[in-house]
Structure 1
Amino acid sequence: MPELPEMETYKTLLRSFIGGRKITDVAIQREKSINVAVERFVNEVSNQTIQKISRRAKYLVFQLENGSCLLLHLMLGGWMFFGKEEDKPERTIQVKLSFGDQHLFFIGLRLGYLHLLSPEMVDEELEKIGPEPLAPAFTLEAFHQRLEKRKGTMKSVLINQEVLAGIGNRYSDEILWHAEIHPNKKVHELNESQSLRVFESIQFILRKGIEQGGYMENPLFKGDGKTGHYQMFVHDKEGEQCPRCHAQIIKEEISSRKTFFCPNCQQ
């Protein structure tokens, strides 16, 4: 599932591709990927200029000139491709937004969706999400406040969107490895030094993910050299050597998620 670095990469690239451009046509191949009748969606979205593209947690919000918004959540398996019809991947397209002879294809939206909402409805949809971990206001003190009275493991806290925005299964593994913290460690067991390490690792890993275009295997456009260059340290590396201590990385189910970590240097 795309997480904060992937969606931030999409946001930045799509701003340059479609920001300020008019949607000339809309095609819906899977009605379950939208939230209103197809006719209404097409009528309200067609001929609208995209005035702004923003990210909140794992969501993208496309603001249209008529005041409506498109709220995108790719969920598991979802991705996008931008380009001409002849360049599109040989995959089933659920939704297509056209910009003249170029199109934004939404692919793999079996669980994901593109919903037409008012700004107020978007705010309501996102109101329970925690703070953005890369925002200037997210200080060490703010992090400590988010952890106060939290129970459970560090893994469960990091992937809880009501605690922090945008961190999912993959990057929680990466963050905890970088901080040398066992994913099963209880939140209340963190000492001051360990808490600082987690905070700094959140910043480091997410910024590194953004700088390297996230982990997405599929390119956003033909000739895309930006997306998908982040190389995981431990996630999905079961049986490989830890990059730090060379012990064998293992996989366990923690907080109902497949979790990868080093049993030697993560304590």
Structure 2
Amino acid sequence: MPELPEMETYRTLLGTLIGGQKITDVVIQREKSINVPVDQFTKQISNQTIKTISRRAKYLIFQLGDGSYLLLHLMLGGWMFFGKEEDKPDRTIQVRLSFGDQHLFFIGLRLGYLHLLSSDMVNKELEDMGPEPLDPQFSIDAFQQLMEKRKGTLKTTLINQDALAGIGGGYSDEILWHAELRPDKKVNDLDGQQLTRLYHSIQFILQRGIKQGGYMENPLYKGDGKTGGYQFYVHAREGDECSRCHARIVMEKISSRKAYFCPNCQH
């Protein structure tokens, strides 16, 4: 599932590709991917300009010229491609937004969605989410105060969107590896030094993920050299050597979620 670095990569690239551009055509091939009748969706967003593209957690928010919004959540398996019809991937397209002869294809939206919402509806949808980990206002003190209220394991806390916004299964494993902390350790068992280390690991891994274009394998457009440059340290690498201590990476289930870690140097 795309996480904060992947969605931030999409945000910056799409801002260049379609920011300020007018939607000239809309094709909906899966009605469940949107939240209003197809005719209403098509009529309302056709000929609208993409004013801004912002991100909140794992969501992208497209502000349209009339003040309405498109809220995108790719969920598991969702991705996008921008280009001409002849360049599109040989995959089922659920939604297509056209900008002249260039199109933004939404692919794999079996669980994901593109919802047409008002400003108030967007705020309502996102109001219960935790703070953005890379927000300049999210200081070490704010992080420590947030963690004081938590009692679960590190793995489940990091992926809890009510606690912190935008971190999922992949980067939670990476963060805990970098911080040298086990995913099954309880948050309230951390001392001040460990909390500080965890905070800085969150910052480091997420910023590294953004800088390297996230881990998504599929390019956003033909010739895209940015997307997908991030290589995992431990996530989905069960049985491989840890790059730090050369022990074998293991996978364990924690509250039904897979956690990949090094049992030797994460303690």
TM-score band w.r.t. shorter chain: over 0.9
Paired with 2:105 and 2:74, the residues of 1 have a C-alpha distance of: 12
> Which residue matches 2:187?
187
> Which residue matches 2:22?
22
One-letter amino acid matched to 2:9: T
Paired with 1:20 and 1:75, the residues of 2 have a C-alpha distance of: 26
Deviations 1:159-214 (A, max 9, x none): 00011110000000000000000000001110111101100000000000000000
Paired with 1:51 and 1:152, the residues of 2 have a C-alpha distance of: 41
1:255: how far off? 2.4
> Which residue matches 2:169?
169
Q: How does 1:1-267 map to 2 (within 5 A)?
A: 1-267=1-267
Identity of aligned residues (%): 72
Deviations 1:41-72 (A, max 9, x none): 00001000000000000000000001110000
Q: TM-score, normalised by structure 2?
A: 0.99
Q: What SS class does the counterpart of residue 217 from structure 1 fall into?
A: coil
* Off by >3 Å, runs of 4+ in structure 1: none
Paired with 1:15 and 1:31, the residues of 2 have a C-alpha distance of: 26
1:148: how far off? 1.5
- How many equivalent residue pairs? 267
1:152: how far off? 1.0
Paired with 1:256 and 1:127, the residues of 2 have a C-alpha distance of: 26
Q: What SS class does the counterpart of residue 260 from structure 1 fall into?
A: strand
1:102: how far off? 0.1
1:149: how far off? 2.2
One-letter amino acid matched to 1:95: V
**What value does the CA root-mean-square deviation take over the aligned residues?**
0.4
**Unmatched 5+ stretches in structure 2:** none
One-letter amino acid matched to 1:148: E
Q: TM-score, normalised by structure 1?
A: 0.99
